[in-house]
Amino acid sequence: MRLLQLGFFLALASGLSALLIYISGVSDLHTTTKLSDQDLEALQSLQSGFKKCVSKNGLGLQAVTKGSDYCQVTLNFPTDTVPKWKDPKTGQLEGLSFEFNLCEAVATWEQVRNSTTILTREFIDALPNGWEDYAWRRINKGVLLNRCENNTLCLEKLSLVLPKTPPYVPKQFDRCAVIGNSGDLLQTKFGKEIDDYDVVIRENGAPIENYTEFVGKKSSFRLLNRGSAKALDKVIELDETRKEVLIIKTTIHDIMNKMIQEVPINNPVYLMLGASFGSAAKGTGLKALEFALSICESVDMYGFTVDPGYKEWTRYFSESRQGHTPLHGRAYYQMMECLGDKIFL
């Protein structure tokens, strides 16, 4: 899967004025607002190219459109797909159709590509009441800190992971690879190809040792969920160079601070500051892609598929697991692949 230069794609495929109209909240581009023929042609090209890409690369997925809203698409799984995941609240099985707005996705990614995704003191200080309204939310059990009325105490808890200014800037690196954890990685030996990238980004506790011919050995950054972050002492052992930058997508915990100081952990450790990609995009994989888009000129994705039956997430290093909304996630990754695919350029 590949995400090419989204800024270039945005200018070519979407039409700047058409996209600005969408951002303003206009959905029916034909009847509500007058667009130029060039804008309409650009949006039609966006939709048409996307549908062709899904048909070619979607492993059975189909992109369906209705009416004159060229931004809106529905991705449908084959009717014989048997979903496994059930909503724990309703008990309902996951559906087979998912709606996406292509213009909204591109606009969000373009915003990410022009901003930092690392939490900094500069960011908190710039917010109106940043410490009282936001900072305590990034500390485990921060609600007990009286909304950071005592800034000194909150700063003490955040100090080990809170740089003053952004340590990375947009497009700082050229070619980057984000490595997912799919079992499909074992079907192709991508190791040498992955190691050829300028930056390699991995997730959680995904191992490198014993799998280098499939996933490479280079590792520049590692995105961590809450569970992995509480085992920082084990995570740092996954990279033999001990130079990975560790980025936590949730909150800082006293356990983490203690390990950083006492183990000690010399790797840089930061908190993720990110945008919201919606209900299908809460996992560590999407946060890793978001981070990559914020620092890289181009991004390639490896290991972001599910098994051919679209039933469950697989891992290259362990048994399959029943992760949340695997079909929705699979459809979202397909959208990302096709919005960045060279078919549009």
Q: Do 88 and 152 fall within a single domain?
A: no
DSSP state of 218: -
Give the count of alpha carbons within 13 A of 30, CB side only: 7
Beginning with the edge strand found earlier in the chain, give each strand of the sheet holding 296-302 in spatial order.
2-3, 296-302, 173-179, 199-203, 221-224, 245-248, 269-271
pLDDT at 176: 97
Sign of CA dihedral 150, 152, 154, 155: positive
19-63 pLDDT tens trace: 444 444 444 444 455 677 887 888 888 889 999 999 998 888 999
Q: Do 82 and 203 fall within a single domain?
A: no
pLDDT at 124: 94
Q: Do 75 and 87 fall within a single domain?
A: yes
Q: Give the CA angle between residues 293, 180, 249 to the nearest 5°.
A: 60
pLDDT at 81: 87
Q: Do 165 and 263 fall within a single domain?
A: yes
Q: CB–CB of 200/176 below 8 Å?
A: yes
Q: Do 230 and 283 fall within a single domain?
A: yes
Q: Do 152 and 164 fall within a single domain?
A: no
pLDDT at 244: 97
Q: CA 37 to CA 197: how far, in whole Å?
A: 40
pLDDT at 42: 82
Identify the residue whose tokens are 């991508």. 190
Q: 102-137: b or e for each residue (b if 16 or more CB lie within 10 Å)?
A: bbbbbbbbbebbebbbbbbbebbeeeeebbeebbbe
pLDDT at 85: 82
Q: CA 261 to CA 63: how far, in whole Å?
A: 51
Q: Do 133 and 92 fall within a single domain?
A: no
Q: CB–CB of 192/302 below 8 Å?
A: no
Listed as ranges, residues in the chain with pLDDT below 50 are: 1-31, 279-280, 308, 310, 342-345
Q: Do 30 and 102 fall within a single domain?
A: yes
pLDDT at 323: 63
3 state DSSP class of 2:
strand
Structure tokens at 235: 């995570």
Q: Do 154 and 66 fall within a single domain?
A: no
Structure tokens at 237: 């052992």
pLDDT at 23: 42
3 state DSSP class of 184:
helix
Q: CB–CB of 281/328 below 8 Å?
A: no
Alpha helices in 34-146 (DSSP H): 37-57, 102-112, 121-126, 130-133
Structural domain range at position 142: 121-159
Q: CB–CB of 102/47 below 8 Å?
A: yes
Single out the residue of 287, 240, 239, 233 nearest to residue 256, CA to CA.
Answer: 233
Q: How many other CB atoms are there within 10 angstroms of residue 343's CB atom?
A: 13
Q: CB–CB of 309/82 below 8 Å?
A: yes
3 state DSSP class of 52:
helix
Our count of domains for the chain comes to 3
72-84 pLDDT tens trace: 999 999 998 888 8
Q: Do 98 and 147 fall within a single domain?
A: no
Q: Do 66 and 184 fall within a single domain?
A: no
Specify the amino acid at residue 219. S
Q: Do 194 and 309 fall within a single domain?
A: yes
Q: What is the CATH number of the domain that holds 276?
A: 3.90.1480.20
Structure tokens at 252: 């800082």
